[in-house]
Amino acid sequence: MTPKPVDSILDVIGNTPIVKLQKVVPRTGADIYAKLEYLNPSGSYKDRIALEMIRSAEAEGKLKPGYTIVEASTGNTGTALSFVGTRLGYNVEIYMPEGMTRERIKIMESYGAKVYEMKIEGLDSTGSIAGAEVEFIPRQKCLDLERSNAKIWWARQFSNPANWRAHLVTGNEILEQMNCKVDAFVASIGVGGTLYGIAKALKAKIPKCKVIGLEPASARYAISSGVLSPPGISKDIAGGIIEEMMESGLIDEVVKVTNEDAIKTSDRLVREEGFFCGISAGANVYYSMKVAESLGKGKRVVTVLPDHRDRYLSEKKYTT
């Protein structure tokens, strides 16, 4: 069926297709299905949470005309908030750790946002990193700004429940598209909203569905290491959705993926499957192949391709 015209670009957020992988799959394993989240308008599944967080804040009276939206981001959430926020008439300021690709900054600025880079001590620009790990200093900046000006609203993607609520919708889309036949779901964790929201939706309908979260192998503060933040970090800028998610018992396993494996698999997805997706998509599919092998024929593994490759053209890095 040909889609009908819509009133706004915001109306085309979500409802992304799911495609069965044909070439990048183990021949003796389960089928793997990828939800193409990079087809959202600004190029990632963060469009979903940007719209949900903003609309929720408006409904709660926390965000009003003339306000400025601020956020700490390594790229995708910043881009999504730049897109949705400016489209709805707000000023948007994004605080990023130094070392992210220049394309991300240019995309955000194209939407009209102001982008500020912040120096992060000890950041290894050659390896993979967890997005949440390098956001503590930018988050503190956002907190300080919000406290200093009543017309600044900090989106707080890491702790805002609107984040995971947006992905209840993603999970329900998966259930409908897969006819409730999903044996395992695999996704990078990041700040937790995607995995937690989708896990909630899937487990409510398919309790036996296995949910696996992924982290960069080089992450210093990670679920798999048991340490989520450096000593002395305030709860105002740490924890949040990840802690709630792990306490929920919905996540069956947390696994680390190397930068090399994520990049190699993302390159294969572009060349062999035709998916112009980013590096976290490579990590997701890389481990989905391992899960597919363990489950065997007749089973179904679902994953997401989170973002577009246009933000990795100058440098490839698994940042979740």
The answer to whether 280 is a known catalytic residue is: yes
Taking the C-alpha atoms of residue 70 and residue 82, their distance in angstroms, rounded to an integer, is: 10
Of 219, 310, 315, 317, residue with least CA distance to 262: 317
Helices assigned H by DSSP within 112-210: 136-148, 161-177, 193-205
Catalytic-residue membership of 73: no
Catalytic position from the list 35, 42, 44, 46: 46
19 by Cβ neighbours in 10 Å (0-12 / 13-18 / 19+) ranks as middle
Tokens describing residue 141: 């900046």
Phi first, then psi, for residue 153 (nearest 5°) are -120, 125
Report d(CA 231, CA 20) in Å as an integer.
44
Of the candidates 288, 290, 286, 268, the residue with the CA atom closest to the CA atom of residue 277: 268
| Residue 262, amino acid | A
**CA 141 – CA 210 distance, rounded (Å):** 38
Contacts of 266 (CB under 8 A, 6+ apart): 277, 278, 279, 281, 282, 283, 285, 309, 312, 316
CA–CA dist 277, 313 (Å, integer): 11
Q: Which of 159, 188, 266, 280 is catalytic?
A: 280
Q: DSSP letters along 293-313, please?
A: HHH-TT-EEEEE--BBGGGSS
- Residues forming the active site: 46, 280
